[in-house]
Amino acid sequence: MAIKIYPNRIEFEKYSLVITNNGLVVSSTGDPSNTAAYGTLTYADAGPSIVFQGTNAGYSSGGYSVPYSNVIDKFPFATVFASTDAGDLSVARGDHAGQSSSVSGYASGGFGPSSYCNTIDKFPFSASAVVATSVGVLTCARRVQAGQSGPSSGYTSGGGAPDGLTVIDRFPFSNDRNSVLVGCLSIGRRGTTGQSSAEYGYTSGGQPVPAPADTVIDKFPFATDVNATAVGNLSCCRWLAAGASSSTHGYTMGGYVATSSNIIDRFPFASDGTATDVGDLSANRSYSTGISSSVSGFTAGGGEGSPIGNTAKVDKFPFTAPFATATCVGSLTVSRRINAGHQI
């Protein structure tokens, strides 16, 4: 049997598979409009893609390790590990936000080595030796803000300059450009934590300067540029926590009020409401970063103890467990806090 392949169709015996805007039309050869006897195979709608989760590896960029660091660490999701130094940011800094596309990691804003930063760095996940380059700037310099990743854009929400900001910035993954202001949080705050579903970005916790830490969970859509709305609360006040996302829930891990916390909160994406305490980190921790695989949440680096000292620990907890107790599964190349997380 001869099979003929054309740019828009495949012919075999007396049949033709024709590509159309509505699907794959099965017809008799020579008459693509004759679909009555054979029908049309329509394209399945897989829904919005979730780029926030990774399947292969996590990255931790920058942070404070006396002095500020530019190191980008990489670790595998599948095994107990010691991270490897995979490359460098364009400038040493901490307090920045992390975003991830399907091919690149981004580090936006932050502080270091001696001033507030508005730089957006980009680095490829495919490179064996990563060198990040500056590809744009935020609408204003700021630190301790949250990062979210939509299907086609990265977002930076809140932060301090030094007081708490309401700003939500967006920058495209498809080309290198400056961010644009697309909305505002329900209340200005710094030390916020980011989570991402397929359709929405979430900003949880933070500190509305000069007020104490807050519990509010804000939500904003990726599809349109509008202000965020408050849709729930964390189980307790805190800021400088880490964020992770499964396909169905957002997680807020650790954080700081009067002391560091070990609480892992979880809130559903399908409905708006208060988060519940579903587990604990391996130790009380703040100033850390969150990283998400498709099945587990990770907390990398941060500060532990009193007074707070840097840690290199990487904790892991399963998204499927009803009580998400984390265990230490690895370490960064050097102890650090106020770092940012990425995943591929």
Mean pLDDT of 41-61: 73
Spatial separation of the C-alpha atoms in residues 28 and 18, rounded to whole Å: 10
- Give CATH superfamily name and number for 57-343: Kelch-type beta propeller (2.120.10.80)
Spatial separation of the C-alpha atoms in residues 338 and 111, rounded to whole Å: 10
Token pair for 159? 């932060």
Spatial separation of the C-alpha atoms in residues 63 and 95, rounded to whole Å: 7
Average pLDDT, the chain: 91
Confidence label for 56 from pLDDT (cuts 50, 70 and 90) = very high
Domain limits, the chain: 3-42, 57-343
Beta strands (DSSP E) in 90-144 are: 97-100, 104-108, 119-124, 130-131, 133-137
Q: Looking at the predicted structure, is the pLDDT value of residue 192 above 90?
A: yes
Residue 38's pLDDT is 52
Under 8 Å between Cβ of 248 and 242: no
At 218-270, the pLDDT tens digits run 999 999 999 999 999 999 999 999 999 999 999 999 999 989 999 999 999 99
Please list the helix, strand and coil fractions of the chain in percent, rounded to the nearest 5, in that order: 0, 55, 45
At 278-293, the pLDDT tens digits run 999 999 999 999 999 9
Spatial separation of the C-alpha atoms in residues 39 and 207, rounded to whole Å: 59
Confidence label for 332 from pLDDT (cuts 50, 70 and 90) = very high
Q: Looking at the predicted structure, is the pLDDT value of residue 52 above 70?
A: yes
Q: Looking at the predicted structure, is the pLDDT value of residue 50 above 70?
A: no
Q: Using alpha carbons, list the distances in angstroms from residue 106 to 61, 85, 112, 119, 163.
A: 9, 17, 17, 10, 24
At 303-331, the pLDDT tens digits run 999 889 999 999 999 999 888 889 999 99
Task: Say how many C-beta atoms besides its own lie within 10 A of residue 294's C-beta.
Answer: 14
Confidence label for 13 from pLDDT (cuts 50, 70 and 90) = confident
In order, the DSSP letters of 112-172 are -SSSB--EEEEEESS-SSEE-EEEEE-SS--BS-EEEE-SSEEEEE--BSSSBEEEEEEEE
Q: Looking at the predicted structure, is the pLDDT value of residue 49 above 90?
A: no
Confidence label for 57 from pLDDT (cuts 50, 70 and 90) = very high
